[in-house]
């Protein structure tokens, strides 16, 4: 994940509108087909359409399979916004965990920028329409028992939608599922996805620093190759 050095509110969400031919060409490339046997496909057009603006640092999008056509946009500073099926953005966040997070700004000597921590992932339960459950990945302050030299904690939490408003989450419904101590501020990971097997898959970074080295890293193998730590792994959890 790259750091964002962009002023507040200047980032916009856009979507690409491509012809079927363009999508087919992408599938051919991704599946690694033999180029000699691949037909030449000309693209009719590729265009960008503005969907929403006014975010600080949008880093992701999640879409529930509930038939509403809504898009849920993750803003790195800790808020999730709803874009309705008609393209309008709701002004009140669906979820706000900013008060539970670290401050995601750091000065590297060239001014204030957003670092790699924050609200980084979201996934809706496959049965969200009936159970209202969803999951988020965010960076919380380190706990009292964490090593002094450590930076923060990764939290993977479950929330539920409000009983009274489908466009608002219940902030008091948080269930902390996984807590991982983080040595440095960077290399967080953050992706959350449900697989076809019904498991929730969680991408976790190696803990930070450079080259998987330093405080909190296995001196012989690095964290990614160390099976005794959750850092640098793809985890899965039953839903």
Q: Is residue 49 part of a domain?
A: no
In a domain, 108, yes or no: yes
pLDDT in the model for residue 28 = 43
Residue 14 lies in a domain: no
Whether 31 is in a domain gets the answer no
Within a domain: residue 33? Answer: no
Instruction: Report the predicted TM-score, pTM, of the whole model to 2 decimal places.
Output: 0.80
- Residue 34 placed within a domain: no
- Total domains in the chain come to 1
- Whether residue 169 is contained in a domain is answered as yes
Residue 191: give its domain's CATH number.
Answer: 2.120.10.30
| pLDDT single digits (tens) 93-123 | 999 999 999 988 766 666 667 789 999 999 9
Tens digits of residue pLDDT in 206-234: 999 999 999 999 999 999 999 999 999 99
Whether the pLDDT of residue 70 is over 60: the answer is yes
The answer to the question of residue 11 being in a domain is: no
CA dist 206 and 224 (Å) reads 6
Integer Cα distance of 129 and 165 in angstroms: 13
Alpha helices in the chain (DSSP H): 20-30, 128-131
The token pair that represents 12 in the structure block: 């916009």
pLDDT for 108 equals: 65
Q: Which residue has the higher pLDDT, 106 or 194?
A: 194
Range of the domain at 133: 56-238
Pinpoint the alpha helices (H) of 100-209. 128-131
The two tokens of residue 34 are 């033999």
């Amino acid at each position: 994940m790259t750091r964002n050095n962009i002023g507040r509110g200047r980032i916009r969400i856009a979507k690409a509108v491509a012809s079927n031919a363009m999508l087919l060409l992408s599938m051919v490339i991704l599946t690694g087909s033999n180029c000699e046997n691949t037909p030449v496909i000309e693209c009719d057009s590729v265009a960008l359409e503005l969907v929403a603006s006014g975010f600080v640092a949008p880093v992701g999008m999640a879409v529930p399979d509930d038939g509403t056509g809504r898009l849920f946009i993750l803003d790195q500073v800790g808020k999730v916004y709803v874009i309705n099926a008609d393209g309008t953005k709701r002004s009140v966040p669906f979820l706000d965990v900013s008060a539970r997070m670290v401050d995601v700004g750091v000065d590297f000597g060239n001014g204030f920028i957003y670092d790699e921590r924050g609200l980084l992932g979201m996934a809706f339960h496959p049965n969200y329409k009936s159970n209202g459950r969803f999951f988020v990945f965010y960076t919380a302050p380190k706990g009292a028992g964490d090593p002094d030299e450590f930076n923060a904690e990764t939290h993977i939490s479950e929330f539920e939608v409000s009983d009274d408003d489908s466009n608002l989450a219940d902030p008091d419904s948080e269930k902390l599922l996984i807590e991982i101590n983080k040595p440095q501020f960077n290399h967080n990971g953050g992706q959350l996805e449900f697989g076809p097997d019904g498991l929730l898959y969680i991408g976790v970074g190696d803990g930070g620093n450079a080259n998987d080295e330093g405080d909190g890293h296995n001196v012989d193998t690095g964290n990614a190759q160390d099976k005794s730590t959750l850092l640098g792994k793809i985890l899965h959890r039953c839903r």
